[in-house]
A and B are shown apart, each in its own frame.
Chain A
Amino acid sequence: MFKSKRLIAFVMTVLMTSMLFAGCASKEQKEVSEEKDKVEVNVFQFKVEIAKELEEAVLAYEKEHPNVKINVQTVGGGDDYGAALKAKFQSGSEPDIFNVGGPQDVQDWMNKLEDLSDQPWVDLALPGILSGVTVDEKVFALPFNIEGYGFVYNKGIFEAAGIDPLKIVDYKSLEEAVKTLDAKIKNGELKEKYPLLEAVFEYPAKETWVTGLHTSNAILGQEFNSSIEAFHADKVAFKYGDALKKLIDLQANYSSNKDEKQKLNAVDYTRQAEEGLAIERVAMIQQGNWVYGKIKGVDENVAKNLDILPMPVKGGKEDCIPVGVPMHWVVNKDSKDEVKAAAKDFLNWLYTSDEGKDYIVNKFYFIPPLKGFENFEPKDALGKAVKRYAEAGKTTPWVFMGYPTGWGMEVLGNDIQKYLAGEYTWEEVISDAKAKWEKMR
């Protein structure tokens, strides 16, 4: 009779004391690091793909600047960076360097942003690339890089199916190619060479950033000319709404879940990239050049053999891909002066010194947003592809940073999930998304 009570008491005591110790431990750690005579810069960044490489860059920087200590924390990918950042600020441990997306973020965070107009890299910026983060002629943020996305495809599979990717320049030719490929997968013609191949596409509707931000941007990037324009728009017209439906339907109808499309709502980024394209289970995914590292991690030969097809908007510009700046670095205005100086110097080092440039291009696989990288050509297949589109002018802008806060992922992304599950008709998706945009402005 006593035994069980004692058991409970024991369990409770253990729990309580462990909580106490947990509390103490984190406190002590902090004190120790503050004791050192170093300038400490806390970085809170979003790009999961470069987390490890950024740590390496930091080590290289710290070697040159022994009095600076840089701590990098990464939250991103499937997690919501914005929410994590706000929680970080709420908790009082404000980072010194963090990331903002575009005009909406700049406005939200305005009273935390340091004016960076006097930085050396400002003059090196590619034309127009700072427009989203310039307010009253003051530059507040340094672009991460340029990224582009479209339909990333496996050249080998296309070749085996006898499809010439160069001829895919509009929606019609894309649809035809998809149908041809699908027929050849079904009749088992490619079975020998690609035993795992089961579908043309994989579409991760669970990741609302893929659907609500990227797929939608393909058409809204033609309705608005820039993220600033989207940011100031009171209404969204969905001028190319039908083209958006076509892009979604094409990817859903030729995916491995084509018969039960609601199952796409459980497909995530990993399933699409690593367990999809990388193992040659599917031939093509809607993603950007940032997946190169992920695919390479699984199978380098597949990664080398990738290229990007355009995302054609029927009735609009067809032979193009959306290209833009995904995120920007900013410095916290409220940090101590010496910390701010170190933070600015680190960013400057990363983007303008030869050693930093090497990290940017060859380790992060970034396409640089600045001039002065002439000797640093992108080495990966997808970076080259994006650069090719950019140089040929076959691009549309990224405008999703100008969407109302939460609209792209939480509203449109969810509406698309409802559409795939059969809860909403396409008309309902459009009207709901339109109404919410107006309400949130």
Chain B
Amino acid sequence: MKNSKFWFSFFIGPILFAFIIVVIVPMFMGIYYSFTNWNGIGNTADWIGFKNYIEVFRDHDFLSAFIFTAKFAIVSVITINLMGFGLALLVTRGLKISNLLRSVFFMPNLIGGLILGFVWQFIFTKAFDGLGRMLDLNFLEGWLSDPVTGFWGLVILMSWQMAGYMMVIYIASLENIPESLMEAAEIDGANAWERLIHITIPLVAPAFTVGLFLTLSNSFKLYDQNLSLTGGGPYNSTQMLAMNIYNTAFKFNAFGLAQAKAVIFLITVAAISLTQIYYSKKREVEM
């Protein structure tokens, strides 16, 4: 007991130190800069109060990026989790090739977002185009050249990449469901669908909490896939929040304004994620 304080600080100390240096300090520096007119290069940064925050709400591009990001987050959270859960169900049915399938489905997640973006850019602009011409399907042509196909391109890319990751989380949870419960239900005459709805889904609710949280926050913070797939184009219509902030800082040299946006971004993402966790937690069932 005497030593527990020492061991506590021994294990926590280094991590806490790193956390303060790389997260807490930059965060407060960022908040400070959001009240200045720093341009990102010079050594002068004058205090200008809340001007940046007022400017943010007048920035149409920021607002449209916000709406686009929100839409994207809603759609991709649904598709990613549905696909992830579906794949998890598929590979836990005891098929012979389950293990192989697991690795295959997980694989896209091991490739970097930038590379994936470029690979899919090629698929959308070249392969889709060629296919569309060959089969005379007009909707396959000219992908990523307008806001709608840009949006769905991003959704497809992200679902493809993230579904495997979510699958792993759902597998873990699915395999925790006692076989006896399933058997009992089967004997009582419940069919597969009823078992899924009334036993499986309530019991994997904790995994849904995690899955929803991860996909929601990741979709909001998305940058690299956005950059490499569409680059925000055409005319910034597929620009997401992170990219809008980056462009404000590095293309328009308005670091203070970008920081103000980033602070608002941080608050929004935190608020949405925490609300989601609160409600998902409430739905979880104890076994």
Contacts and interface: CB of A to CB of B under 8 A. Distances in A.
A108 B234 contact: no
Interface string A197-214: 000000001100000000
A5 B172 contact: yes
Interface string A87-114: 1011000000000000000001101100
A260 B142 contact: yes
B144 interface: yes
Contacts of B169: 8
Interface in B159-185: 168-169, 171-172, 175-176
Contact of B175 (A4, A108, A205, A264): A4
A86 B172 CA distance: 44
A122 interface: no
B40 interface: yes
B39 A108 contact: yes
Contacts of B235: 265, 414-415, 417-418, 421, 423
A266 B234 CA distance: 7
Interface stretch (B5-13, B190-198, B246-254, B278-286): B246-254
B145 interface: yes
Q: Bin chain A's interface residue count.
A: 35 or more
Interface string A395-434: 0000000000110011000110110010100000000000
B43 to A, nearest CB: 7
A205 B125 CA distance: 15
A83 interface: yes
A4 B142 contact: no
A418 to B, nearest CB: 5
Contacts of A264: 145
B252 A405 contact: yes
Contacts of B236: 410, 414
A423 B148 CA distance: 14
A25 interface: no
B41 interface: yes
A7 B250 contact: no
Chain A at the B interface: SS class:
helix
Nearest to B174: A4
B140 to A, nearest CB: 12
Contact of A90 (B40, B144, B247, B253): B40
Interface in B2-29: none
A80 B250 contact: yes
Contacts of B250: 80, 82-83, 86-87
A108 B41 contact: yes
Given A1-B175, A262-B146, A265-B146, A206 B234 contact: yes
Interface string A258-281: 001011111000000000000000
Interface string B182-214: 000000000000000000000000000000000
A366 B169 CA distance: 57
A3 interface: yes
Nearest to A208: B233
Contacts of B176: 1
Nearest to A415: B235
A166 interface: no
B94 interface: no
Interface string B227-265: 000010111100000000011001111000000000000
A99 to B, nearest CB: 15
Given A4-B175, A8-B172, A421 B39 contact: no
Interface of B: 39-43, 125, 141-146, 168-169, 171-172, 175-176, 231, 233-236, 246-247, 250-253
7 contacts: A1-B176, A82-B250, A86-B41, A108-B42, A206-B234, A421-B146, A440-B252
9 closest A-B pairs by CB: A266-B145, A265-B234, A83-B250, A417-B235, A263-B142, A414-B235, A406-B252, A4-B172, A263-B145
Given A1-B175, A410-B236, 20 more contacts: A8-B168, A82-B250, A82-B251, A86-B40, A108-B39, A108-B253, A109-B41, A111-B43, A206-B231, A262-B142, A264-B145, A265-B145, A265-B146, A266-B125, A266-B144, A406-B247, A406-B252, A410-B252, A417-B233, A421-B234
